Structure 1
């Protein structure tokens, strides 16, 4: 991969990692589902007027929009508003890789590889420490919501695979039209209509800057660059770089919010990250090991 493409991929992972800090800031004093609704409204507008509708069935377009908007990000925003830290949320959301593998095995009959099973084991041990060891803010509810959000991400990954060769950017933009209204209604029901309307009408420059960052930079620009890089250089080269997302998420949260990592929390985060590394790279390591010539031939 050329240096320019590598730097663009790092830029995307930086945007996606820092985005968790932006989410934390945006839901501080504003209903979380309203923030999510505005994010997807801006992701769709005005881009939808310049992109052709993706060549996918309407049910898939709507299903993808609801999965990403309501489940993945709706639940994530609520979890962060309940107290889940930005850094830990950025790490736990990467569990989507394991959920995707499990769903692919169950739905598509894809065989789980030994490195995937080993990676899941390490990551789930880390999750157990986080969930039961009191190493997170917001309680078990916020922890469970983030896991459900990661599961929603995994479901959306399978939906993208069902979309075949459809333009991913067009799919992201057009599907973003689906979730704003349900999210807005959910905000009124969950947080109350008065706070929802007040936040919508009274949001300051900082609030709208955060929403614009999430809608345009994180969603449209991020997914646009990422999809283009995958098309040019292949998923095998580009996708593993997504492991930098929780690195940037943890660092930015530590710098901005002074998020502390006591030993138990640090151990849990390390287990999850090591599990991700084994899941992504373990197959290559095993293949390289098996391809080594016998010891006798190297003498």
Structure 2
């Protein structure tokens, strides 16, 4: 992987890490369920009008949209609106990596090497430490559980993405965005109500409204279109196991940015848990990168297992 490509991968990690701050700003203006609908509607409209449908089965587009799009961001935005710190959310969401492997084992009957499972256990132990630190009150533990649910939704999306075998990742991502807006808008109308939604739209010209719009624009343009586009380009030109570990810079950027901009702090226990999560997910990703190289020498083309799936990538 060239130095230029390394810089690009690191820049994407910065974009995605700062995205959690953008989400935090947006949630100051918009209710969480409506914000999810708005985020994906902005992507869905141009996708339907200008982007040809990718050559994959419809069920995988729907599955990816339901998992990666709807479930992940429903629970993530709900968690952050309920008090989950932006920096800590960027860390806990990395549980999508272990969840993806577990789903691959149970649903797709894929094989996992013992060394990779050991690193995943380390990552889960780190998440347990963070959760234990959040047990001081239900007000802080519930957002933690909601973020974990969002990570599980991301993992479901990863499995659908894998099964789709799309060779047009940008088109696939754009068309996935068609799935969440309508169900999320209906959910927002029922749970948050037309009054709350209307107030968030009629107060856009306030300072908070401008920040909310800026956060939404950053999420759509920088984090999703630009960041995901660069990441897909890198993944198509480099081994997945070499690119994927750069995603572990996301929680480092997210937690650092939240500390610098929002004044968020973490306890010593949470920091120890964060280190375990990063070591575990990064180690599992590196073991996954080694696996395909070994199997390429001894296994016929077409044989796959879960080690081919990078732990976690997008947000």
TM-score (norm 1): 0.89
User: What is aligned with 1:150?
Assistant: 151
User: What is aligned with 2:107?
Assistant: 107
> Greater shift after overlay, 210-219 or 270-279?
270-279
Aligned length: 288
Matched, 1:159 2:165: no
Aligned mates of 2:136, 2:225 — CA distance in 1: 31
Point out where structure 2 has 5 or more consecutive residues left out of the alignment.
293-315
User: Structure 2 matches for 1:78-157, cutoff 5 A?
Assistant: 78-134=78-134, 138-157=139-158
Change (3 A) 1:125 1:171: same
Aligned mates of 2:291, 2:4 — CA distance in 1: 30
Q: CA deviation at 1:193?
A: 1.9
Aligned mates of 1:170, 1:81 — CA distance in 2: 30
Matched-pair contact (CA < 8 Å) for 1:16–1:218? yes
- Match 1:226 to one of 225, 228, 231: 231
Superposed CA offset, 1:72-128 (max 9, x none): 111100000000011111011111111111111112222222232222222222222
Structure 1 consecutive aligned stretches of length 4 or more whose deviation exceeds 4 Å: 135-138, 282-287
Give SS of 2:134's match: coil
Give SS of 2:247's match: helix
User: What is aligned with 1:290?
Assistant: none
Superposed CA offset, 1:200-237 (max 9, x none): 34323222121111112111211111111111113122
Change (3 A) 1:286 1:3: closer
Matched-pair contact (CA < 8 Å) for 1:126–1:270? yes
> Greater shift after overlay, 37-46 or 222-231?
37-46
- Match 2:260 to one of 242, 255, 258: 255
Q: CA deviation at 1:254?
A: 1.1
User: What is aligned with 2:201?
Assistant: 200
Matched, 1:236 2:237: no
Point out where structure 1 has 5 or more consecutive residues left out of the alignment.
288-299
User: What is aligned with 1:58?
Assistant: 58
Aligned mates of 2:202, 2:267 — CA distance in 1: 40
User: What is aligned with 1:28?
Assistant: 28
Matched-pair contact (CA < 8 Å) for 1:98–1:116? no
Give SS of 2:226's match: helix
Matched, 1:246 2:251: yes
